[in-house]
Amino acid sequence: MFKRKERRRRFAELHRQLTQALPSGTLLYLVAAPTDIDFIMRRALWGHLSPAQLRRAVAGELQDPWVQHVQAYESTFRAYAPYQRLFWIAMPVDAGLEGYAKGSAKQRFRNWLAGADSEAATTLEGWRETADTMVRGLPRDFKPTPVTEAQQEWLWDQFCSLGAFNDPFPAPTVPARGVFRRAKFHPRGGRRDESILKVTRPDTPEIRPSYQSVVTLFGAKKLRFPGSEIFKLIDHIDPALGRVNCAMRLSLNHVQDEKNHNTSTAKNIRDQVRQRGIAALNDDELKHQMQDLREYNNLLSAEPGQKGMNVDVVFAAGADSLSKARNLEQALLSIMDRSGVSLRSFPGSQAGLIKVFAPGNEKQAGLEGMGHPTTPTKFSRFVPLISTGLGNSTGIPLLVNYSTLRREIVLLDLQGASGRGHVGVILIGGSPGGGKSHCSKIIVIGLMKRRSRIHVVDPTDTREWEKAIGQEPGVKVIDVAGGKVSMDLLRLLSPDVGGEVFVDHLMPLLGYPAESSEGDRLELLLEPASRDTKGIGSWNRLVEVLRQEASTDADREMLNKFEVLSNRSYMRALTDELLEAPDISKLSGLVWNMAGIPLPTSTENDTEHLASRISRRERAGQAIYGICAELSQQLFFNDSQSSDFIVLEEAEGYLNSPAGGKRAHKITREARRLQTGLVVISQNLINDCRKMGTEFVTQTILTRFDEDDVAKAHLERFMGITEAEYPDVVRRYIDDTSPPELNDTLEMSMATDDFDLAMSDFGKTISGREGECFFRDEFRRVGRGKLLGAPTAELADRLNTNPNEQKSTDGASKPSNGQRGAA
């Protein structure tokens, strides 16, 4: 939806190429199609199950954690009533490659005189060849797909019963009925002066009557590109009112034919001026017609290689009741008027105009004189064939696309990203209370149920990750600060990697930079051969060897630092050989609980005079963070057969440390080859992730930010949305993303229960607005969305991180979304 100007120009150029290649008389439809909920669920299951398992799951015969998780979302999906926008092209194959251009009528007449049989096998085969040739001439980006008979029958029902027919678009494998079900059109569906058409289905009583208003595009001269994408506006109308479809008839001719026609038209206008004499001087309409004609001729002369064209645009707004149809028509007229577009309704002509929506009947629609002369270049700037799709074809249910009012369910497939040449990394940013923590846990639980291994580094004192995923099968929680497990890298990692990693993480703890003579000395000592010869298998054994070999002042200084650290209580996890060395290789999930372990800030890490003031306890915390992530990374990188993920929440100090930044950068650059991914949750992604190579990461979720400048910076950096290009979008993101409830008009007459509820909700996110966000997907498509909550009440309670709501025991009303209180 939200593209940089250069990308929008590219899309416009593709539309120009498409229009230039179409035969004259082509019909272009923008059709609303309800989404099959079962199809969404099959998509979510597809990447996890084999074809045989998928069939069993659809039939309800397969009990699998992921299948049950997806099935729990069914009622949520149905509540959103998602639908898609189909782009349907009907080309006149019976008129030759140029369609109904000038001269084609004579050829069709000669064919008729010659007795050509339109149903003969040779004629039909010729039309198929013509259709194939036409399709091959279209830009490949649009991926045209032939429709089946069942899909044509569906289009007929959609046309006749717009707003009352809610069957999803049939799959190519669905058999056809072999008949178009009868429809009866009643020209006066409303009052005598109304432009409402009533359509009933005499043979299909289960389809309710449809009430439709048909309006034509009358004027759109003030539109400028970018910003002229008016055909997207029909998806910004409340779908509860009904559905809006659009039909366009494109008549194209060679430039010289158009100029000849314009010359004749100009002569007719001048004749009218002469005949009307003085009265013509006061007639602005004739002046405007002549001015429009000159502008059109200038357009044709500016690009002589393109065609001239005339576009008829018709909108149909349909609902299942007369009152809804009236409201829907008014909503359509209003939203177009606000964008500088004039639509006109013609009472009494509805039954004729609507025929443009039935391919083959468009000539009976009475559109003569309603067209808009233009060129493919100018028409292309309206870019009618723009998809609002987000996310992946399979994966975890993530959010609902809110880019328009036409809701779509968005799936996230981090596990399959490496197979598409991308990294399975997602960044989730926002201020507390916006939903980022809730969202990250939904993602992680989905990954685990799809059999990925997950290692979480949890800094929270509330141990929220233990609460969220500790009940999942195969999950272990390690309380690092409790001093119950060993973090000694020389015990935990194999000799071929342990020495190098030890230097990376422990040298800053000793007060040395990793690139130093002391670091070189230590790295040589920890070479695999040296470790084997001297038996260096732990921190304490390393200290003994240093004590034995210390021969210079530098050696003795380093030994002294090791000995001082060995006696510190906060170093017990790194120095106590009696602690258990955890075996994490067989776990499906692991939570490194870091509560109570301090970290330095990124400013302290990067500023020389502040770095010298970092306490040893903070340096130890930084080393322990790095060791946890290192253990997970080494395990995952050595097993590329499974899909594994590391989760880092609010780990600014680690990510901006030399070792942490380097390890995260390695994942963003190389992990796609090793099926290892990363989930980062932060209140400031720009600051926290600046050393990890975010330019290689595409998938990002931004929830609400409380500070305007931070919000603008994130929107520009990660979504490509600038205030200069999209001022309204930026302002809406700042002011209207999961806004708080600020009820300043509490009434003294409120009942006690209402007063208590109003007081308890003050300042919290407005109920139903939780989880609003911007999302950039794997393919750099950007859109607004609303994060899905937990599919069950039990899971929602596990993911609730709001301590006030967790302590509440007064039975107060709780939000139904399952995201209230998410951080």
Checking 58-61 for CB contacts under 8 A at 24+ apart, the result is: none
580 found inside a domain: no
Which pLDDT score, from 0 to 100, does residue 112 have? 60
674 and 787 fall within a common domain: yes
Buried-exposed string 333-366: b where 16+ CB fall within 10 A, e elsewhere: bebbeebebebebeeebbbbbbbbbbbeebeebe
Task: Give the highest mean pLDDT range of 388-392, 592-596, 701-705.
Answer: 701-705
* pLDDT tens-digit series, residues 546-578: 999 888 888 899 899 899 888 888 788 888 888
779 found inside a domain: yes
Q: Is 377 exposed, middle or buried (0-12, 13-18, 19+ CB in 10 A)?
A: middle
Q: Return the number of other C-beta atoms located less than 10 Å from residue 89's C-beta.
A: 20
Mean pLDDT to the nearest integer, 305-325: 89
Among 361, 380, 399, the domain boundary falls at 380
Mean pLDDT to the nearest integer, 390-410: 94
Q: Where are the alpha helices (DSSP H) in 567-698?
A: 572-575, 602-606, 608-611, 616-637, 652-655, 658-670, 685-688
The answer to whether residue 315 scores a pLDDT higher than 90 is yes
Buried-exposed string 730-754: b where 16+ CB fall within 10 A, e elsewhere: beebbeebbeeeeeeeeeeeeeeee
Task: Give the highest mean pLDDT range of 53-62, 289-298, 791-800.
Answer: 791-800
339 and 432 fall within a common domain: no
706 and 820 fall within a common domain: yes
| CA dist., res. 610 & res. 618, Å (int) | 13
Per-residue confidence band for 763, with pLDDT thresholds at 50, 70 and 90: confident
323 and 445 fall within a common domain: no
**Cβ-based neighbours of 283, under 8 Å, separated by 6 or more:** 276
Which pLDDT score, from 0 to 100, does residue 350 have? 79
Q: In the 8-state DSSP scheme, what is residue 511?
A: T
Mean pLDDT to the nearest integer, 178-189: 86
Say which residue, 708 or 362, is predicted with more confidence: 708
**Cβ-based neighbours of 669, under 8 Å, separated by 6 or more:** 423, 693, 696
| CA dist., res. 58 & res. 45, Å (int) | 9
Strand partners, 397: 411
Which pLDDT score, from 0 to 100, does residue 231 have? 85
567 found inside a domain: no
Asked if residues 395 and 649 have their Cβ atoms less than 8 Å apart, the reply is no
Strand partners, 772: 786
Mean pLDDT to the nearest integer, 118-141: 84
Say which residue, 438 or 808, is predicted with more confidence: 438
**Cα-Cα-Cα-Cα dihedral sign, residues 48, 51, 56, 58:** positive
Q: In the 8-state DSSP scheme, what is residue 485?
A: B
Which pLDDT score, from 0 to 100, does residue 595 have? 81
Which pLDDT score, from 0 to 100, does residue 744 have? 62
What letter represents residue 461's amino acid? D
Per-residue confidence band for 587, with pLDDT thresholds at 50, 70 and 90: confident
Mean pLDDT to the nearest integer, 496-518: 79
644 and 697 fall within a common domain: yes
Q: Return the number of other C-beta atoms located less than 10 Å from residue 758's C-beta.
A: 15
Q: How would DSSP label each residue in 712-744? A: HHHHHHHH---TTT-HHHHHHHHHSSS-B----
The answer to whether residue 277 scores a pLDDT higher than 90 is no
The answer to whether residue 715 scores a pLDDT higher than 90 is yes
Q: Where are the alpha helices (DSSP H) in 420-568?
A: 436-449, 464-469, 489-492, 495-510, 517-525, 528-534, 539-549, 553-566
The answer to whether residue 802 scores a pLDDT higher than 90 is no
312 found inside a domain: yes
Q: How would DSSP label each residue in 292-353? A: HHHHHHHHHHH-TTSPEEEEEEEEEEEESSHHHHHHHHHHHHHHHHHTT-EEEE-TT-HHHH
What letter represents residue 563's amino acid? E
93 found inside a domain: yes
294 found inside a domain: no
Helix (H) or strand (E) holding 107: helix 104-113
Among 345, 380, 415, the domain boundary falls at 380
- Per the structure, the count of domains in the chain is 2
| CA dist., res. 260 & res. 308, Å (int) | 11
Per-residue confidence band for 810, with pLDDT thresholds at 50, 70 and 90: very low
The answer to whether residue 360 scores a pLDDT higher than 60 is yes
Per-residue confidence band for 808, with pLDDT thresholds at 50, 70 and 90: very low
221 and 311 fall within a common domain: yes
Which pLDDT score, from 0 to 100, does residue 107 have? 60
Asked if residues 33 and 83 have their Cβ atoms less than 8 Å apart, the reply is yes
Mean pLDDT to the nearest integer, 19-42: 93
708 and 752 fall within a common domain: yes
Domain containing 649 — which CATH number?
3.40.50.300
Q: Which of 22, 788, 821 is nearest to 407 (CA)?
A: 788
What percentage of the chain has pLDDT greater than the value 70?
Answer: 86
Return the beta strands (E) in 159-221 as ranges: 184-186, 196-200, 210-219
* pLDDT tens-digit series, residues 236-249: 999 999 999 999 99
172 and 195 fall within a common domain: yes
Total residues belonging to the chain:
823
Domain interval for residue 240: 5-35+82-101+129-254+307-380
Q: Are β-strands 589-593 and 453-458 bridged in parallel, bridged antiparallel, or unpaired?
A: parallel
73-82, 280-289, 686-695, 732-741, range with the lowest pLDDT:
280-289
**Helix (H, G, I), strand (E, B), or coil: what is residue 454?**
strand
Tell me the chain's radius of gyration from C-alpha atoms.
33
Structure tokens at 529: 């051969």
Q: Are β-strands 342-345 and 210-219 bridged in parallel, bridged antiparallel, or unpaired?
A: antiparallel
Q: Is 400 exposed, middle or buried (0-12, 13-18, 19+ CB in 10 A)?
A: buried
Among 359, 380, 401, the domain boundary falls at 380
* pLDDT tens-digit series, residues 413-460: 999 998 898 999 999 999 998 999 999 999 999 999 999 999 998 888
Per-residue confidence band for 181, with pLDDT thresholds at 50, 70 and 90: very high
The answer to whether residue 818 scores a pLDDT higher than 60 is no
* pLDDT tens-digit series, residues 146-158: 999 999 999 999 9
| CA dist., res. 701 & res. 693, Å (int) | 17
Structure tokens at 174: 């669905």
The answer to whether residue 712 scores a pLDDT higher than 60 is yes
Which pLDDT score, from 0 to 100, does residue 225 have? 44
| CA dist., res. 22 & res. 14, Å (int) | 13
Give this prediction's pTM: 0.85
Say which residue, 220 or 637, is predicted with more confidence: 637
Per-residue confidence band for 104, with pLDDT thresholds at 50, 70 and 90: low
736 and 786 fall within a common domain: yes
Structure tokens at 15: 């539309």
Asked if residues 436 and 703 have their Cβ atoms less than 8 Å apart, the reply is yes
* HSE-up (13 A, CA, CB side) for residue 549: 11
326 and 445 fall within a common domain: no
Q: Per 3-state DSSP, what percentage of the chain is helix, strand, and coil (rounded to 5)?
A: 45, 15, 40
372 and 413 fall within a common domain: no
134 and 165 fall within a common domain: yes
Mean pLDDT to the nearest integer, 297-323: 84
